[in-house]
A and B are shown apart, each in its own frame.
Chain A
């Protein structure tokens, strides 16, 4: 299986900060990389697909980039509702795998 490794595992930041989360794949996955946001007690929600395409309705402060093995999710100016856990997921093959998650906390 393709292993997905996120860094950092947790992150403290303030409202208005610019934040970057990294996801690394154990092999090249082209741009088959998706990002999800999960709030406590809720189902995950799709933010970014195909590495850099913003899902409809997602604020433009979210952006994704990367290809091959290294990917990033950037939040340009943190808002209170952005404090959550973020997961990357590879869809390069049908043995889908997720990163371990990055918990974004309020500083």
Chain B
């Protein structure tokens, strides 16, 4: 069965960076794009960007351009999302989600989420 398993919760200080991982299983990792979506406590869903695990190509939401980097290690079927220059407003649960290779495909499987807390 398809599974996306994310790394554990993180606590970071303002100005630091965080790197969250998302390990895929149950399907061919390079056949689906990985997207990242975050959700602050009690708030809605905010899309951050996508990555094609085969090519490494990425596309980021304008809000996060210059601060987010999405990468992958195909040998272990794992995608990564790194967010830098953290501020308190970045405190949120971060999700990875699988999407088909067509840009209009939906996010059909999601990871369990990783809580990132930014606090001094």
A residues at B contact (CB < 8 Å): 1, 32, 34, 36, 38, 43-46, 49-50, 55, 87, 89, 91-101
Contacts and interface: CB of A to CB of B under 8 A. Distances in A.
B106 A34 contact: yes
Contacts of B47: 89, 95-98
B45 A43 contact: no
B50 interface: yes
B62 A91 contact: no
A106 B45 CA distance: 23
B44 A87 contact: yes
Contacts of B105: 49, 91
A91 B46 contact: no
Contact of A43 (B35, B44, B112): B112
B111 interface: yes
Contact of A55 (B59, B97, B104, B108): B108
A45 B50 CA distance: 18
Kindly state the interface size class of chain B when it binds its partner: 20 to 34
B61 interface: yes
Nearest to A29: B104
A91 B111 contact: no
B94 to A, nearest CB: 11
Given A43-B112, A91-B103, A94-B103, 7 more contacts: A44-B95, A46-B108, A55-B106, A89-B45, A91-B104, A98-B47, A99-B44
Interface string B45-61: 11100100000000101
Contact of B110 (A34, A44, A55, A96): A44
Contacts of A93: 103
Interface string B91-120: 000010100000111111011110000000
A95 B59 CA distance: 8
A34 B59 contact: no
B104 A43 contact: no
Contacts of B113: 43
Contact of A1 (B35, B62, B103): B62
